[in-house]
């Protein structure tokens, strides 16, 4: 054994009380109780640290709850841990708690199941700034994601609506989008001829043409402070969709696999009529009759469009639609639907027997939208032999009875002339054969 080892063995373990030392060189050993408390304290600290790092692991959280005496939450209400995603812009990317969500998961038919707690969503879609929000299981007051309740079987689940609006766009891309929409709407202006003797509206008056006139139906975009009336959907519903305010732009539910962003924008449907020498006869005449309904006459009409974006900018296409049952997507039919919805016998029949569908309604538009919207009404009254369908034609802001049945149901309407009745029959053939 060397000298250092020998000296070490002879070193005293403690100093005497009066030898001027500074105390024992080593702390006395812990008692058994102290050692047990120290182990428990360190273990709890480690578990709490793991909970912070891996708080989403349900089993670990439950174990910590047991150690710390935290009450275990009760069972979740049915459907409260399920959400669907409505992301209308197909080129966007969504993450939930940092995990990329596939397009299949964002399909409305595929609910996502979330763990208990708060989850963070990030929606990134150019050229909009990222949208960050949170949703909790179960729902909490501090949630920031916009949601609506939808029914799935016997339960209601939440749908997160990731709908973009004009006010979220930077100034440059916003101005570009407005121009693209205006250009797309202008491209869908349609023209036709007002024949001598045909009725058209000027202000609150209905007059008959004395010579051929050129009529153009256009849709002007209405945004910001330009709004002059309420905006209404088909049938007089307020201007909203899935919790969105459509006074500027609102997103339609995504069409499966479509590469475009489907939106609706508020417009004014306006007529311009000129004579054979190009002189203005009627300018900026709102489509529709002031006697239709105070809520609908002259109101702004929502027009569907498809939008696309890349580094070259925005591209827009107005989807005005023609053909069978065009009313839900073609705003020129709004007035025709309102006439039938707010006038007897159709209105009173619905009030007296709300569960009985006596009348069946169809709407159709021909190849030229300015030629008018045709309404076809089929009477299913079981007490009488079914009459021929009633045909109504909304043309140049005037609602016309275009068949004998139509005149018998609404005898106060102006009658369509021979050419208008022939057009109505032609379009009706696409509805009733």
Work out whether the CA dihedral 289, 294, 296, 300 comes out positive or negative. Answer: positive
pLDDT reading at 44 higher than 90: no
In a domain, 12, yes or no: no
**Per-residue confidence (pLDDT) for residue 180, from 0 to 100:** 96
In a domain, 143, yes or no: yes
Q: How many whole angstroms from its chain centre is CA 20?
A: 85
Query: Within this chain, do residues 188 and 310 fall inside the same structural domain, yes or no?
Result: yes
Confidence band of 350 (pLDDT split at 50, 70, 90): low
Q: What is the mean pLDDT of the chain?
A: 78
60-69, 162-171, 268-277, 375-384, range with the lowest pLDDT: 60-69
Which of 276, 297, 325 is the last residue before a domain boundary?
Answer: 325
Q: pLDDT tens for residues 381-429? A: 767 788 899 999 999 999 999 999 999 988 989 999 999 999 999 999 9
**Per-residue confidence (pLDDT) for residue 428, from 0 to 100:** 92
**Report for 103-107, 126-130, 237-241, 300-304: range of highest mean pLDDT:** 126-130
In a domain, 229, yes or no: yes
**Per-residue confidence (pLDDT) for residue 60, from 0 to 100:** 45
pLDDT reading at 120 higher than 80: yes
In a domain, 18, yes or no: no
Contact at 8 Å (CB) between 262 and 254?
yes
Query: Within this chain, do residues 46 and 89 fall inside the same structural domain, yes or no?
Result: no
* The two structure tokens encoding residue 310: 């890349």
Query: Within this chain, do residues 107 and 240 fall inside the same structural domain, yes or no?
Result: no
Which residue spans within 169-276 are E strands per DSSP? 190-194, 199-202, 205-208, 213-221, 231-232, 240-241, 244-245, 250-251, 261-274
Q: Residue 219's domain spans which residues?
A: 168-325
pLDDT reading at 28 higher than 70: no
9-13, 34-38, 72-76, 164-168, range with the lowest pLDDT: 9-13
Contact at 8 Å (CB) between 331 and 302?
yes
Q: pLDDT tens for residues 353-368? A: 555 567 888 888 888 9
pLDDT reading at 269 higher than 80: yes
Q: Which position has the higher pLDDT, 371 or 232?
A: 371
Query: Within this chain, do residues 125 and 180 fall inside the same structural domain, yes or no?
Result: no
In a domain, 8, yes or no: no
Residue 166 gets which letter from DSSP? G
Q: Go through the chain and tell me how many residues it has.
A: 433
- For 275-341, the three-class secondary structure string (H helix, E strand, C coil) is CCCCCEEEEEEECCCCCCCCCCCCCEEEEEEEEEEECCEEEEEECCCCEECCCCCCHHHHHHHHHHH
Residue range 197-209: mean pLDDT, rounded = 93
Q: How many whole angstroms from its chain centre is CA 147?
A: 11
pLDDT reading at 322 higher than 90: no
18-22, 97-101, 345-349, range with the lowest pLDDT: 18-22
What phi and psi values does residue 430 have, to the nearest 5 degrees?
Answer: -75, -15
Contact at 8 Å (CB) between 325 and 142?
no
Q: pLDDT tens for residues 61-79? A: 445 444 545 566 778 888 8
In a domain, 24, yes or no: no
Query: Within this chain, do residues 249 and 190 fall inside the same structural domain, yes or no?
Result: yes
User: What domain count does the chain have?
Assistant: 4
Which of 162, 180, 205 is the last residue before a domain boundary?
Answer: 162
**Report for 31-45, 63-77, 116-130, 375-389: range of highest mean pLDDT:** 116-130
Query: Within this chain, do residues 191 and 279 fall inside the same structural domain, yes or no?
Result: yes
Which of 162, 187, 206 is the last residue before a domain boundary?
Answer: 162
Query: Within this chain, do residues 369 and 424 fall inside the same structural domain, yes or no?
Result: yes
Query: Within this chain, do residues 188 and 320 fall inside the same structural domain, yes or no?
Result: yes
Selection from 416, 340, 417 nearest residue 377 by Cα: 340
């Amino acid at each position: 054994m060397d000298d250092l080892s020998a000296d070490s063995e002879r070193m005293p373990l403690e100093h005497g009380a009066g030898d001027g030392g500074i105390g024992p060189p080593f702390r006395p050993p812990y008692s058994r109780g102290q050692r047990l408390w120290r182990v428990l304290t360190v273990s709890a600290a480690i578990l709490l640290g793991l909970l912070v790092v891996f708080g989403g692991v349900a089993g670990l959280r439950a174990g910590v709850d047991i150690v710390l005496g935290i009450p275990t939450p009760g069972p979740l209400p049915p459907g409260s841990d399920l959400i669907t995603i409505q992301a209308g812009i197909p080129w966007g990317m969504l993450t939930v708690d940092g995990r990329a969500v596939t397009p299949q998961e964002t399909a409305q038919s595929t609910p996502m199941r979330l763990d208990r707690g708060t989850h963070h969503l990030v929606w990134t879609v150019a050229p909009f700034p990222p949208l960050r929000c949170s949703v909790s299981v179960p729902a909490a007051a501090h949630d920031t994601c916009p949601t609506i309740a939808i029914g799935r079987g016997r339960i209601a689940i939440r749908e997160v609506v990731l709908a973009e609006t004009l006010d979220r766009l930077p100034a440059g891309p916003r101005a570009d989008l407005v121009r693209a929409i205006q250009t797309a709407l202008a491209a869908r202006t349609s023209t036709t001829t007002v024949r001598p003797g045909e009725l058209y509206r000027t202000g609150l008056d209905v007059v008959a043409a004395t010579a051929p006139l050129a009529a153009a139906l256009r849709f002007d975009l209405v945004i910001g402070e330009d709004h002059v009336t309420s905006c209404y959907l088909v049938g007089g519903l307020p201007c909203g969709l899935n919790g969105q305010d459509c006074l500027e732009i609102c997103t339609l539910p995504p069409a499966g696999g479509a590469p475009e962003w489907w939106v609706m924008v508020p417009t004014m449907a306006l007529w311009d009529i000129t004579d054979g020498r190009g002189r203005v006869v009627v300018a900026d005449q709102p489509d529709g009759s002031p006697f239709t309904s105070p809520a609908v006459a002259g109101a702004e009409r929502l027009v569907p469009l498809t939008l696309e974006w890349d580094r070259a900018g925005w591209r827009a296409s107005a989807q005005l639609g023609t053909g069978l049952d065009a009313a839900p997507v073609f705003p020129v039919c709004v007035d025709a639907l309102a006439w039938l919805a707010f006038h007897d016998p159709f209105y009173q029949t619905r009030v007296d027997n709300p569960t009985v569908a006596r009348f069946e309604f169809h709407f159709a538009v021909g190849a030229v939208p300015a030629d008018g919207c045709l309404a076809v009404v089929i009477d299913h009254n079981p007490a009488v032999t079914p009459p021929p369908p009633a045909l109504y034609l909304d043309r140049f802001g005037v609602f016309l009875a275009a068949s004998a049945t139509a005149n018998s149901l609404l005898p106060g309407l102006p009658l369509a002339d021979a050419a208008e009745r022939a057009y109505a029959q032609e379009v009706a053939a696409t509805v009733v054969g």
